[in-house]
Amino acid sequence: MGEIIAVASGKGGVGKTSVTANVGDALAALGKKVLLVDMDMGLRNLDLVLGLESEVVYDAVDMLEGRCRSAVLPSAYKNGPDFLPASQVHGYDRISEEKVEKLYSDLCQQYDYILVDCPAGIEKGFCIAASGADSAVIITSADAVSLRDAERTIGILEGLGVGDARVVINRFRADFAERGIHMKIDSCIDILSAPLLGVVPEDDAVAESAAAGSPVCRYSPDSQAASAYRNIAARICGETVPLIQLEKNTMGLKQRIKRLFGR
């Protein structure tokens, strides 16, 4: 039985789809069997990031309503994650929590990890997408608005019975943290009620690889973002990996490991 991980955020545009695609690809590179599910109904875009847009015939709603036996597509890349596309035409009116939970539980027989790219916000669509998940990865940037929305999302997930939430701080910029434009990592950790899973720096490689329809770890394997995604995947698998050094201060290895587990 695989683990179903909801990738959520509260605030839109903070990097859920990028993290789903790139951490999913990094998990697959570790030899795990991975499925990425796009549950952003009506606003499908994970297919573009994965370079699979021309392959989509059926989608998750077709599968839920029995128009096809499976809408799952194999990865465009060797040893990559499989992909279940969202519907581009239907919203959440035709699907229920019960149907989605049944779909996830059928699928998780065949996978080690299922990453669900959730819609932004905390409305019905998000609740349907996250229902039945075993754990959650909340994406936030290091600004007060995004962090507050992340906290609210963690609370809603608890209400849905999805415990074990962990946070990824995305698009982190050391120069912004220094100048007080956004917060330092330690200040984010102090605010958040869930532990930190990783920090992904602001990195042009993310947008460049998305435009090329290729995961960052393949398109730009030496980039800082690729290292961050690989580290997050390793932590999901239970490894203890220190945060990469993004801020100026010269914190020791021991302290950086400690920051991942303690507040």
Ligand X SMILES: Nc1ncnc2c1ncn2[C@@H]1O[C@H](COP(=O)(O)OP(=O)(O)OP(=O)(O)O)[C@@H](O)[C@H]1O
In whole angstroms, what is the distance from residue 182 CA to residue 132 CA?
A: 34
130 near ligand X, judged by CB under 6 A: no
Count CB neighbours of 158 within 10 A. Answer: 15
Helix (H, G, I), strand (E, B) or coil at 5: strand
Site for ligand X in 22-81 (CB under 6 A): 40
- The least CB distance from residue 106 to ligand X, in Å, is 25
Beta strands in the chain (DSSP E): 3-8, 34-38, 82-84, 113-117, 135-140, 165-172, 196-201
171 near ligand X, judged by CB under 6 A: yes
Residue 17 or residue 214: which is nearer to Mg ion going by CB? 17
Burial of 222 (0-12, 13-18, 19+ CB in 10 A): exposed
Residue 72 or residue 200: which is nearer to ligand X going by CB? 200
16 near ligand X, judged by CB under 6 A: yes
Q: What are the residues facing 198 on neighbouring strands?
A: 168
In whole angstroms, what is the distance from residue 192 CA to residue 251 CA?
A: 21
Residue 33 or residue 246: which is nearer to ligand X going by CB? 246
Find tokens 């209400």 and name the residue.
Answer: 159
- The least CB distance from residue 20 to Mg ion, in Å, is 8
Q: What is the dihedral of CA 207, 116, 97, 151, to 10 degrees?
A: -70
Q: Which range in 16-24, 29-37, 122-130, 147-155 contacts ligand X by CB under 6 A?
A: 16-24
Return the residue of 84, 196, 206, 233 that touches ligand X, per CB under 6 A.
206
- Interface with ligand X: number of residues (CB under 6 A): 19
Residue 75 or residue 227: which is nearer to ligand X going by CB? 227
In whole angstroms, what is the distance from residue 25 CA to residue 219 CA?
A: 12
15's contact among Mg ion, ligand X, none, with CB below 5 to 8 A by partner kind, is ligand X
200 near ligand X, judged by CB under 6 A: yes
Return the residue of 9, 17, 146, 227 that touches Mg ion, per CB under 5 A.
17
Closest residue to Mg ion: CB criterion: 17
Residue 17 or residue 75: which is nearer to Mg ion going by CB? 17
In whole angstroms, what is the distance from residue 209 CA to residue 169 CA?
A: 20
- The least CB distance from residue 117 to Mg ion, in Å, is 6
In whole angstroms, what is the distance from residue 1 CA to residue 208 CA?
A: 35
Residues lying near Mg ion in the complex (CB under 5 A) are found at 16-17
Residues lying near ligand X in the complex (CB under 6 A) are found at 9, 12-18, 40, 120, 170-171, 200, 202-203, 206-207, 210, 225
